[in-house]
Structure 1
């Protein structure tokens, strides 16, 4: 434990990017996936320090702030470029700067979202590097994006593409052979009657030559059709055995990324594979059309083209149809801009965004491709108790994205839901499921014509949870997590009618992701073990133990008025809003029980303390310190938990620094000396203290100091004081000290949970 804390302290002074560069190659390969043309690694490298000091999370949701950061980023690039000595590197940075201006000048929040995501994912990778082993989900995802598979696909698609292009030359060769045959045949016809009488031998030789040419032409036609058949079979196998599985794998990884897992990558690679395969099929269709034109000029008995071409053409059309239909995907799942890290939860009356994309770059589209959105399309009656409709415009035209190699996509940025009211003014009947367990779906439809083929496109979002109040957000998010952890069926809207169980190894990994996503750093093995003990009791050591949906989110913790998830979610909110610096330094032990806390502290130096989350309060953190009496008695003191209301007034690191205990006849002092196991308090928290700037004015500055009154029996019995008011200022404290009259209701007291 001590070694881990020390390592984290040492890393605290090192930039995130420097820590990233020290990772092993296996993890660096995952970092490499984060950066592309949307956020080049050159920028991350050149502006690493500046980037890490900006609030990209807030900018991702506030356009004015995003605009300022975008302008500042360009200025920073100007500065770095002017200092660069290498001419080529300076030129490359200029190109990157111009590309960024084109992409983000009109939409700077998009840039902020990209950078925010990259930084968050870097943190997740660093966190996973600190853990001894990765969870089963992440291991399976790493395997699914193995470089060997990508290389195999690249090679196979390239071979098919090359074969099809060679067939173009073969068709051209057949056309030339046929032109020669046609010319000689018509020439022979023109002089047949006269030459047959004058030179029968020459005519016989010419006929023999024509027959040889026809035989050769027949051989070439059969050869090209055989090669086409082989390529069609190869494409059929490619689509069924590799391309469709790769697409399904990407969709599964999209689900995992949505609930905090590894960042989603691979869409551009899929776009390349789909497009190259489609180009090969369209080219083969043109080749078959060309062969059909050839038989208009020359055909003969047992000609292979009219016998085989119709069936081949149908197979090629079938493959084109299904390839394009499957390439219509939801690139960005529905998400409210106000909660970018919690997709698939939609609040009525609040705008949300989503984006669909066609993975095939089409050679031509006969008219504008309009996409229509529909909510709960074809939902069986009685499936849900509430019904909704899209209040805003639900149809948009797909555009070509300049920065994505010409793919067609459309982003709906202003969709909004409204609940349907019935004739009597009431809502639907109450269903068996809670509001946050009802699953809904957003469908997308389009129809277009390409090269004579009419193709109906349809896809749908992952299941959505619709809420009407922000208080339902925690319940909605745990539903989204549970569904995407355990189901990969996008239309399984009855999932919570009989939700499956999850193993603790699966659930613990997802819970760790929540902390890396919302709090900046995931959970280590010790913290996960502590959490498992709280949720599972004696089964905590069994990674395959089955956890029910009810156990996680519906049943109250024994003796408490709240569920395990509500307790954990309140801690996440507390860390995110008030404890992030302390949490990311690995100073909060977190989920240790009172019994384990005392076991850890009993043999430590007096004043040794540790930080843990309250087990009885929602969203509370407390600290406990150890003392030794004159008779060798070990005493433990725990302060009443600090919640968001109290931490809004005073940063937690400052509370640790300024905390005082008052007891009768003793000068007030700070009992906190060493952060467990043995780190001096100021050494651990010194960098996090809020240093007040000096001010030149006639007033004496005042400071809020957290104070507890220590009674002789508070080590064994809970305090009877009411919820504390804000801590006293030094002036108030001095005044009360002089009169020896302490208002207990205005002070914190040692606390025992």
Structure 2
């Protein structure tokens, strides 16, 4: 079943997550009409090779043209034509960006499908999955609507007060303009009495309006403190979790709606208070409540506006390199990276007015030498209105680039006490907000970044990003790794499973995680509350091995992504199995049963072990030397399983692999993954690569079968077997 058909069968709550994936950068209309073609292309590879991305962009536009010509529905044909034009404008100069967007969307789809099949979320996901539950949203919506209604009613009350004051002002001036001789008449006394009644009513109305204003201001203050700020903080926490592979990030549009309605209410109240200030210029009196109470209310409104606007300035997309979209918050010097800032308050008066400036490491830790960097490219852009979406005000920096400072004031600055991958940096954003006489300095900051100078540091850098965002919600703590806290195995195992979901589309099951826990900590790993130190995770070598636990696991992730993805997602690889468990699984199986597991002794290696019956009738387990990326780049692993041969004591070569554990016929599991490499050029004899091993543990060769010839370039060493 295609991936898109699987998506359409998901429950509504998962479909909402899918809906969030698609916008004008990658419209869902394209995903629908070209679903099979899109899934048949290698977008992951295209995202790293511009020539391939250019070809795929051209093919995508051609596919859309063909679909338009075949479409019978006029409206659908019109929409497809508009999408075609939009894609040409948006991606013609940036084909890599298009490939990255589609690659990310397909990967997120696989992750959503995987999460829909998981039996129970882990502790981190549990902590964030209900943070914007429906009932809370409904309560928030109702509260904001009530505030907006109260503010609108205040508008009417202020207008009514203005009319009452105008009536009083007219009557008072008319009375004053009468002849002094008429001021002691009965009619004059009645008019004065009437004026006093109106003034009393005016005083009562002023006090009533000011009291209602005070109540509304308190309600907005309570809304911001008890709901709006917590919702924003929880969204930021969900963003942290999403950065390290957690659930899809949603809710920012809803937050913008709440922030905007609250801001509109406050600015409307500010205008009402300004109006009251104008009214007392015409009519005032002793103990006038406006004169006494307005200054304090005005200060409260300005404070709330200041706080709300400052809080609404957020980093919508944390810094990430298009070359490594699955690993945000890691920046390599000399490589362009992207980030996006957004203002959650939508006010037409500030559209196209906010100029955002980026600053790197504005807050360096005092008192210690630190690697220092500066932004090589332009650091300032103006926020724009995204007309294509919900009209939010945002700015995206797509071409930022860092360069290292070697010396500052003649002093070398690249000698920090921590390793490069443990030094945390930050990217700050500043802007100046001016409206209705209010000036606000805006500032927000990215999550902590790791800056590397070599791709070889990527593994360690990503470990730091995972550890930080897993264990703290502090927006800025540059000294975190001076004394890093421990993680519970429950937290860590969940994040490790997310890595497989993110990079391969399928997370780890309970048995696989249990094996990883035992490899890291021993038998005690069965307890979720067991603590893991930072050093144990990625700095100390596995006993007897020249590499750490995380390096071993990260190499496996890379191996799956580049060479094993189809058979991994098809559940053909058992993967994380200790030798003891392997023996327990296979010892009672019939000869020819085999399983696939990742090597514990080689970085990024996969091996297979099969059951062979000895002459005495006993079952023996035989394992082949692990295949690594260097070998799998030459021959697909499914083909190795299909064509593998063993020679023993001059016997005819035979394939010992018959049944995939627990007993599935080999071809039934792997047929769909076989890749035919036979030449179609005639009259030459077609040829096929065949991996052959000898039971004497001598070196093996990759022979050319079919015509049983072996050209010079066909003789390559193959993995040895161990009995």
Which category of TM-score, normalised to the shorter sequence, fits these structures?
over 0.9
**Deviation per residue, 1:65-118 (Å, 9 max, x gap):** 556555655555565566666677667667766776776677665554444333
The equivalent residue for 2:720 is: 749
User: What secondary structure does 1:521 align onto?
Assistant: coil
In the alignment, is the contact (CA less than 8 A) between 1:441 and 1:463 conserved in 2?
yes
1:637-676 equivalences in 2 (<5 Å): 637-676=622-661
The equivalent residue for 1:399 is: 384
1:317-716 equivalences in 2 (<5 Å): 317-365=302-350, 368-422=353-407, 427-428=412-413, 430-692=415-677, 695-711=680-696
Structure 2 length-normalised TM: 0.93
Q: CA deviation at 1:212?
A: 2.0
The equivalent residue for 1:169 is: 156
The equivalent residue for 2:235 is: 250
Distance 1:79 1:180, change over 3 A: farther
Alignment counterpart, residue 183 of structure 2, candidates 191, 196, 206: 196
Q: CA deviation at 1:16?
A: 1.4
Distance 1:92 1:207, change over 3 A: farther
Alignment counterpart, residue 729 of structure 1, candidates 670, 692, 704: 704
The equivalent residue for 2:262 is: 277
Distance 1:88 1:397, change over 3 A: closer
In the alignment, is the contact (CA less than 8 A) between 1:367 and 1:448 conserved in 2?
no
In the alignment, is the contact (CA less than 8 A) between 1:448 and 1:455 conserved in 2?
yes
Which structure 1 residue ranges, 5 or more long, are not aligned?
A: 1-13, 712-718, 737-742
Q: CA deviation at 1:397?
A: 2.5
User: What secondary structure does 2:625 align onto?
Assistant: coil
- Partners of 2:546 and 2:639 in 1: CA distance: 31
User: What secondary structure does 1:209 align onto?
Assistant: helix
The equivalent residue for 1:146 is: 133
The equivalent residue for 2:110 is: 123
The equivalent residue for 1:183 is: 170
- Partners of 1:528 and 1:649 in 2: CA distance: 31
Q: CA deviation at 1:544?
A: 0.8
- Partners of 1:134 and 1:307 in 2: CA distance: 57
Distance 1:148 1:104, change over 3 A: farther
In the alignment, is the contact (CA less than 8 A) between 1:501 and 1:546 conserved in 2?
yes
User: What secondary structure does 2:218 align onto?
Assistant: helix
- Partners of 1:268 and 1:71 in 2: CA distance: 33
In the alignment, is the contact (CA less than 8 A) between 2:677 and 2:688 conserved in 1?
no
**Deviation per residue, 1:698-747 (Å, 9 max, x gap):** 21122211000113xxxxxxx4x56x6x62222795679xxxxxx99845
Q: CA deviation at 1:690?
A: 0.6
- Partners of 2:43 and 2:153 in 1: CA distance: 50
User: What secondary structure does 1:624 align onto?
Assistant: strand
Q: CA deviation at 1:555?
A: 1.0
Distance 1:302 1:83, change over 3 A: farther
- Partners of 1:285 and 1:305 in 2: CA distance: 14
**Deviation per residue, 1:129-152 (Å, 9 max, x gap):** 333211111122211121222222
In the alignment, is the contact (CA less than 8 A) between 1:728 and 1:746 conserved in 2?
no
Structure 1 length-normalised TM: 0.90
- Partners of 1:569 and 1:93 in 2: CA distance: 41
Q: CA deviation at 1:513?
A: 0.7
Distance 1:285 1:105, change over 3 A: farther
- Partners of 1:25 and 1:399 in 2: CA distance: 33
- Partners of 2:224 and 2:192 in 1: CA distance: 47
- Partners of 2:254 and 2:351 in 1: CA distance: 27
**Deviation per residue, 1:221-252 (Å, 9 max, x gap):** 22211111111111101111111111111111
Q: Which moved more, 1:449-458 or 1:312-321?
A: 449-458
The equivalent residue for 1:236 is: 221
- Partners of 1:172 and 1:212 in 2: CA distance: 19
Which structure 2 residue ranges, 5 or more long, are not aligned?
A: none
Alignment counterpart, residue 218 of structure 1, candidates 183, 186, 203: 203
Q: Which moved more, 1:628-637 or 1:22-31?
A: 22-31
Q: CA deviation at 1:631?
A: 2.2
- Partners of 1:187 and 1:82 in 2: CA distance: 79
Distance 1:97 1:267, change over 3 A: farther
